[in-house]
Amino acid sequence: MNVTIQQGGIQTVAADAIIVNLFQGVTAPTGATGAVDQALGGAISELIAAGDLRGKAGETVVLYPRGAIPARRVIVVGLGKPDKFDLEAVREAAGAAIKQAQKVGAAAVATVVHGGGAGGLDLAEAAQAVVEGSLLALYRYDAPRVQKENDDETPVDSLILVEFDAVKIGAVEAGARAGQIIAESVALARTLVNQPSNIATPTALAQAAQAMCGEVGLICRVLDEPELRAEGMGALLAVTQGSDQPAKFVVMEHCPESCLTQPPVVLVGKGVAFDTGGYSIKPAESMLGMKADMAGAAAVIGAMRAAALLQLPLRVIGLTPLVENMISATAYKPADVFTAKNGLTIEIANTDAEGRLILADALCYAGELKPAAVIDVATLTGAKGVALGSRTNALFCDDDVLREALLAAGQKTGEPLWRMPLDPAYDRQIKSTVADLKNSGGRSGGAITAARFLAHFVGDWPWAHIDMAGSAEYSGGPEDTPRSYLVKGATGIPLRTLVEYLRSVVE
């Protein structure tokens, strides 16, 4: 997608479609929408007066200027109620409008920066949200099939952000650039998750991470199984021993020269390329979505790309343990005992509680990096989905500053988090009679006991665990909150939250 900035009035822009907006309750359009309305002889005002345009969030109408202005079409998108307007509303409006533009066959689209004027939002942040919402809504996975869906659609190949005030062009450019970097990083994460698991093997995912690092200038190291044994990662290797696909452990580092001595922020992403449940096998219907059990790793890979391209003056290290959880004669079994990297022994109560095992060793590895903070993200427990559904993700955090920063980042990006308890009293559920811990505490408080398990592999540094189960994929069904910029398949959540957190640390 070619994203550019243009100074001037949007009513003067030659494009296949121009996008303006309207707040709910407005009866006389002003600003850019008012200028377009005047150029069209009051056509937008007529729609408002007739009740055909109310400005409700996500509402769109298309007008045909018939030569009154250079643009071939005008799309008016509703912003909703002014008192509920925020950056998420900008993303929603941008997504709805660009989908309408694609539907009518507009290849070149120009848009105002929703919220940058009467909306009262920071102009750079609003421009970022417009680009994010637009590009995220246009994402399509190039599935391996002969007959492609929507082959007859004209793709939107250029997006112009139009700003009337020349003084403000710099802010719009900065926001648009950040939005494009972040949206394209989300697209990378989405594609990794959308790929079938026979393609996106641990080795292939590691190679994809290496390729990305090479493109953007990140340091990358991939540990193979002999190196993992040397590291003492017995918990991770237990999960992978039933698979023909070898485990990989990817270490990605963004370290500007000015940050060489800085303690790193470490991001850890669960990377189970496919999860059968092992001998604690999943029901058939529950296994269908398990190619997405590496969505945490995909989010971390994408976040590292964004950190590099945004040139954040911050040392950031991304860790992605990559395995398959399969059934075979060599697979690990219930009642087996393994030793993690920090020496703790773990009884296997449930082979389907594998994600916490690979994260345990990854957290131990993170601790050796002397981190400023560690954040792990994982599709970890079905219990999280029962508790919070797909819209909101669970945040477990032992540090007040880190917790508040992540909550703010999630709210700002439209990927909300909810604080969950991390009370050591829950440890009684994961107490073992034959080892230090067992890897499952049963159904009761399942997301909490999983987090408590991970806490035993955390050192004296700020740590947060984000359980994003249920949010890695979007089906558009009743269990999903409709969002215009999400399409069926992988979401990339919580990549944008991670990047916003990193940017907030810099600021």
For residue 154, pLDDT beyond 90:
no
For 438-448, write each residue's pLDDT tens digit.
999 999 999 99
Q: Looking up tokens 């800085």, which residue turns up?
A: 262
In the prediction, which pLDDT does 118 show? 87
Question: Are the beta carbons of 116 and 79 closer than 8 angstroms?
Answer: no
CA dihedral sign of residues 389, 406, 161, 119: positive
Question: Are the beta carbons of 450 and 266 closer than 8 angstroms?
Answer: no
The stretches of 355-437 forming alpha helices (DSSP H) are 355-367, 382-388, 400-413
* Angle, helices 400-413/87-103, rounded to nearest 10 degrees: 30
Question: Are the beta carbons of 341 and 231 closer than 8 angstroms?
Answer: yes
Domain definitions of the chain by residue range = 2-182, 195-506
Q: Report the distance separating Cα 3 and Cα 291, nearest Å.
A: 32
Q: Considering 81, 140, 282, 391, which one is annotated as catalytic?
A: 282
For residue 473, pLDDT beyond 70:
yes
E-assigned strands of 30-104?
A: 60-63, 74-80
In Å, what is the CA distance from 109 to each residue of 39, 56, 67, 105?
18, 22, 17, 10
Q: Considering 73, 356, 438, 452, which one is annotated as catalytic?
A: 356
Q: Can 2-182 and 195-506 be said to share one CATH topology?
A: no
Record: fold of 2-182: Leucine Aminopeptidase, subunit E; domain 1 (3.40.220)
Counting residues of the chain whose pLDDT is more than 70, the rounded percentage is: 99
Q: Which residues have CB under 8 Å from 44's CB, separation 6+?
A: 22, 29, 33, 36, 37, 53, 63, 74, 76
Grouping H, G, I as helix, E, B as strand and the rest as coil, residue 3 is: strand
Q: Looking up tokens 């007739």, which residue turns up?
A: 50
For 182-206, write each residue's pLDDT tens digit.
999 999 999 999 999 999 999 999 9
Residue closest to 272 by CA, chosen among 287, 289, 285, 291: 291
Q: Report the distance separating Cα 114 and Cα 80, nearest Å.
A: 12
In the prediction, which pLDDT does 150 show? 64
DSSP run (H or E) holding 7: strand 2-7
Q: Report the distance separating Cα 89 and Cα 115, nearest Å.
A: 9
E-assigned strands of 233-350?
A: 248-254, 265-269, 271-275, 316-325, 337-339, 345-347
For residue 147, pLDDT beyond 70:
no
Query: How many other β-carbons are positioned within 10 Å of the β-carbon of residue 83?
Result: 7
In the prediction, which pLDDT does 480 show? 87
Q: Report the distance separating Cα 376 and Cα 498, nearest Å.
A: 10
Examine the residue annotation and report whether 282 is marked as an active-site residue of this protein.
yes
Average pLDDT over every residue of 344-368 = 98
Q: What is the architecture, at CATH level 2, of domain 195-506?
A: 3-Layer(aba) Sandwich (3.40)
Q: Report the distance separating Cα 254 and Cα 375, nearest Å.
A: 16
Grouping H, G, I as helix, E, B as strand and the rest as coil, residue 19 is: strand
Percent helix, strand, coil in the chain, to 5, is 40, 20, 40
pLDDT-derived band at 149 (thresholds 50, 70, 90) equals low
Q: Report the distance separating Cα 132 and Cα 41, nearest Å.
A: 33
- The pTM (predicted TM-score) of the whole model is 0.97
